[in-house]
Structure 1
Amino acid sequence: MSEEAKEVQNINANEKEEDGEMKKVHQFYFVKFWPYKDPEYDSKFEWARKLCQELDQEKADVIDDKMEEIRTCKEYLYSELQNQRFRSAALECALEWKTMVLDFLHAALDKSLANEGQLLTEIPAPQSNSFFSSSYLRRELNSAIEERKEKAMADAASNGRIWYPLSSKEDIEEQIRLINTIPEELRPERCELMEEIACLEDEVKAVEENENVLMEQFRGLIRRKEEVYKCILSLTNERDEADAKYYEYLSLLSNARELAKRKNVAALEELSSKQVDEFISRWNDSSAFRMSYEKAILPSLDRRQLSRDGRIRNDDEEPIILKDLLDLNGDIDAIKSFVVPFIARF
Structure 2
Amino acid sequence: MAIDGVVSVENGHVGENESVCVEKAPEPSFPKDAVDEWPEEKKFHSLYFVKYRTVEDRAVKAKLDQADKDLKKLNLACDPITEKLRAKRNERAQVIGQLKALVEEKNHFRTIMDGKRKEIKPLQQALGKLRGLNNANRDNRGGYLCSSEEELNDVIKSMQSRIQHESITLNEEKQIIREIKQLEGTRDKVIANAAMRVEVQKFVGEKDAIQDQVKSIGVDLDGVRKDQQAIKAKLKTLETENEAINNVIVSLEEELCVVIEKRDKVYHKIRELRNKREEGNTCFYQNHSLLNDARRLAASKDVNALIELSTSEVDKFMSAWNSSKAFREVFSMCCTGHTFFL
Question: For the superposition of Structure 1 and Structure 2, which TM-score range results when normalised by the shorter chain?
Answer: 0.3 to 0.5
Name whichever structure is richer in helix by fraction.
2
Larger Rg: 2
**Relative contact order, higher structure (CA 8 A, sep 6+):** 2
